[in-house]
Amino acid sequence: MIRTATIISLFICCLIDSAQVAAEPTPFRAVYKADYKGLPVSAVGIRELKKVEGGIYQLSSTAKSFFASVSEKSIFEIHDQYPVPIEYHYKRTGIGKNRDITLAFDRQAGKVTSEQGPWEIEVTKKTLDKLLYQYRMREDLKHAQKNGQSWPDLNYEVADGGRIKSYNFKITGEELIDTPVGRINTVKAIRIRKNGGRSTTFWLAPDYEFMLVRLLQIEKEGKGFELLLKEAQFGNQQVHGL
């Protein structure tokens, strides 16, 4: 006869296993048409989320054309369902001044360091890098959707350029976006900036855990950058429009 304590222990283990499965990010690989506004050229953009090993994940974003490339990569873990950055890499060539930046996060010491500069600053458990905040944004919107809540204002602290910056977004509504894979329903998130210079807007698909469908970033002088979804594999399924 199985003892009550054993049954309770098994039940708790099952709950823990279920929580771990629920926290497992859905891998994806999305291909985008990338346009540099103000320049007579188009490029290909790729965003990918994958498991590297154990409980470590990699979120990456690249955009490449014949004469330029921009790439970002965030290596992170998940603690208590919150993404914790380990390393962040950014590289840009062919557009303006070339840049190659690596940030190393030390969660235990509560700091992030950069060899470029160099610089070191203190961080909190909620500090994210310049790519990982987009993963956290999706998780916050998933939570609101799951609980039938109205879309929340989205506020993140991000290690950026030797200091902690506030990245604030507001959901302004839902919008159907025409893409090469069909029409996709999205929520529109606009970054709120104090200076009103650069504008950044994300269109995210609720049907695919708020995966990016379109991104538009415009500078004050009119130049900018745009991504539009061409094709994507989300988990085990191919992404299709309505």
Q: 196-210: per-residue pLDDT in tens?
A: 678 899 999 999 999
Mean pLDDT is lowest, of 38-42, 77-81, 140-144, 169-173, for 38-42
CA 42 to each of CA 65, 69, 183, 209: distance values in angstroms, whole numbers, following the listed order:
7, 11, 22, 28
At residue 55, does pLDDT exceed 50? yes
SS (H, E, C) 64-108: ECCCCEEEEEEEEEEECCEEEEEEEEEEEECCCCCEEEEEEEECC
Other beta carbons within 10 angstroms of residue 168's beta carbon come to 14
Mean pLDDT is lowest, of 95-99, 199-203, 229-233, for 95-99
At residue 112, does pLDDT exceed 70? yes
Mean pLDDT is lowest, of 43-47, 141-145, 217-221, for 217-221
The answer to whether 59 touches 132, Cβ cutoff 8 Å, is yes
Q: What angle do CA 52, 55, 59 make, to 5 degrees?
A: 45
pTM (2 d.p.) = 0.86
Q: What pLDDT is recorded for position 6? A: 35
